[in-house]
Amino acid sequence: MTPDLKTNASFGITPLVTGIIKDAQTLISQQLALFQSELKEDLGRAKTAAIPLLIGAAVWMLAGIFLFTMVAQLLVYLWPELPQFAAFGIVGAALAIAGTTLVLVAKAKTDEMTPFPQKSAEALKENIQWTTKT
């Protein structure tokens, strides 16, 4: 015996649409949780990488100061008629050019990066569009 669709409310269109809407809401909330989890994971990795990077950069900067002071003094030693301020100016100008070049390269690379998980955002966008169509 087959159930009568008109007499049994559990087989109607309303419960089906309600179930679809509940499933869509569950899917969207799960994708938001995934998005949040990916973002936290990315921030954690960035923090873990940033600490040794900053310490290394500080040590590297100190070493650079000593090395480039040595280069300026070497210029004065090699050309005794060169004033000391000119030697430091030559080294400073070379460093400024190199630093500017590195900053521009780094800026170009960071402009290519995305600030949040792209895959999760696209999936969430598709699900929201699908939900609004129904």
> For the segment 47-65, what is each residue's pLDDT rounded down to a tens digit?
888 888 899 999 999 999 9
42 or 7, which is more confident: 42
Nearest to residue 67, comparing CAs of 91, 102, 99?
Answer: 91
Q: How many structural domains is the chain composed of?
A: 1
Q: Is residue 85 assigned to a domain?
A: yes
Q: Is residue 33 assigned to a domain?
A: yes
Q: Is the pLDDT of residue 91 over 90?
A: yes
Query: Can you read off the two tokens belonging to residue 103?
Result: 């900053």
Residue with tokens 């500080």: 58
pLDDT given at position 98: 94
DSSP 83: -
pLDDT given at position 1: 46
Q: Is residue 15 assigned to a domain?
A: yes
| Helix/strand/coil for 30 | helix
Q: What average pLDDT does this structure show over 69-96?
A: 96
Q: How far apart are CA 119 and CA 116, in angstroms?
A: 9
Q: Is residue 3 assigned to a domain?
A: no
pLDDT given at position 117: 64
Is the pTM higher than 0.75? The answer reads no
Q: What percent of the chain has pLDDT over 90?
A: 39
Q: Is the pLDDT of residue 73 over 60?
A: yes
Q: Is residue 1 assigned to a domain?
A: no
Domain of residue 62, residue span = 9-133
Torsion of CA 32, 38, 44, 48, to 10 degrees: -170
Computed over every residue of the chain, the mean pLDDT equals 84
Q: Is residue 4 assigned to a domain?
A: no
